[in-house]
Chains A and B, each alone.
Chain A
Amino acid sequence: AQSVTQLDSHVSVSEGTPVLLRCNYSSSYSPSLFWYVQHPNKGLQLLLKYTSAATLVKGINGFEAEFKKSETSFHLTKPSAHMSDAAEYFCVVRIINFNKFYFGSGTKLNVKP
């Protein structure tokens, strides 16, 4: 079975401090992995994607994620949070053998001044 688990439903950080949003996946097949961001009342925007090339993936707005097969993880990080990063973040898995994307439950990121 395929699944995605986002370990934290809410994360709160202060502006200028690091961000870590955790994601673990379960799949019998090689996955493509994505992080999407959804700002309030806005559509979903792709932050970054992993597709079996480099395990460390750089995305937009200074975000990075590292694919660790041994840990089945794809955690999202950013060295320094900005107020504009406050949003909901979704970890998404796409399995080659299945024509669908599996969404995690989402992590709401709050950035305090």
Chain B
Amino acid sequence: SAVISQKPSRDICQRGTSLTIQCQVDSQVTMMFWYRQQPGQSLTLIATANQGSEATYESGFVIDKFPISRPNLTFSTLTVSNMSPEDSSIYLCSVEDLWGVGEMNTEAFFGQGTRLTVV
């Protein structure tokens, strides 16, 4: 299993500013994911971050708004840039951990999330 620490756990930010969220994993993982969970909604994948390569963004998300760093196999950051109230959400870091043999043997682990409020 993987234990994920996410910082900050919550923040209130002024519109137009940026916030960087950190995700630290207690083991080396290949794939890290960043999700957004808007109030009362499900999780939406923002991007997949692999170490040593550019993050892959999902439709509707762009690097200028959500730049991601992945400097090593245990750490990643997500920045929410030029924030507006519509960015108020919970942002979650997730990793995929392989267990046993075969690609079917996989599981996602999640951080506690960062609750962002933009005022």
Which A residues contact B (CB, under 8 angstroms)? 30, 32, 34, 36, 42-44, 46, 49, 51-52, 90, 92, 94, 96, 99-101, 103-106
The CA-CA distance from A46 to B48 in the complex, in Å, is 20
Q: Which of B19-27, B70-78, B99-107 contacts A (4 or more CB under 8 A)?
A: B99-107
- B108 pairs with A101, CB closer than 8 A: yes
Provide the B38-69 mask, 1 if CB < 8 A to any CB of A, else 0.
Answer: 00011111001000000000000000000000
Which B residues contact A (CB, under 8 angstroms)? 31, 33, 41-45, 48, 92, 94, 96, 103-113
The CA-CA distance from A36 to B113 in the complex, in Å, is 15
The CA-CA distance from A42 to B37 in the complex, in Å, is 13
- Name B48's contact: one of A43, A49, A94, A100 (CB within 8 Å): A100
Can you give 12 A-B contacts (C-beta < 8 A)? A32-B104, A34-B107, A34-B108, A43-B113, A44-B92, A46-B107, A46-B109, A51-B105, A90-B43, A99-B31, A101-B96, A104-B42
The CA-CA distance from A42 to B108 in the complex, in Å, is 16
- B42 pairs with A32, CB closer than 8 A: no
Beyond A42-B112, A43-B111, A96-B104, 14 extra complex contacts between A and B, CB < 8 Å: A36-B110, A43-B92, A43-B110, A43-B112, A51-B106, A90-B42, A94-B106, A99-B31, A101-B33, A103-B44, A104-B42, A105-B41, A106-B41, A106-B42
Hey, which chain B residues are within 8 Å of A101, CB to CB?
A: 33, 45, 94, 96, 108
Q: Which 5 A-B pairs have the closest CB atoms?
A: A44-B110, A51-B104, A43-B112, A103-B43, A106-B42
Of all chain B residues, which has the CB nearest A94? B106
The CA-CA distance from A44 to B44 in the complex, in Å, is 14
The CA-CA distance from A103 to B104 in the complex, in Å, is 17
B2 to chain A, nearest CB (A): 11
Answer whether A32 and B106 are a contact pair too, CB < 8 Å, given A43-B111, A43-B113, A100-B33.
yes
- A103 pairs with B33, CB closer than 8 A: no
Hey, which chain B residues are within 8 Å of A51, CB to CB?
A: 104-106
- B108 pairs with A92, CB closer than 8 A: yes
Hey, which chain B residues are within 8 Å of A103, CB to CB?
A: 42-45
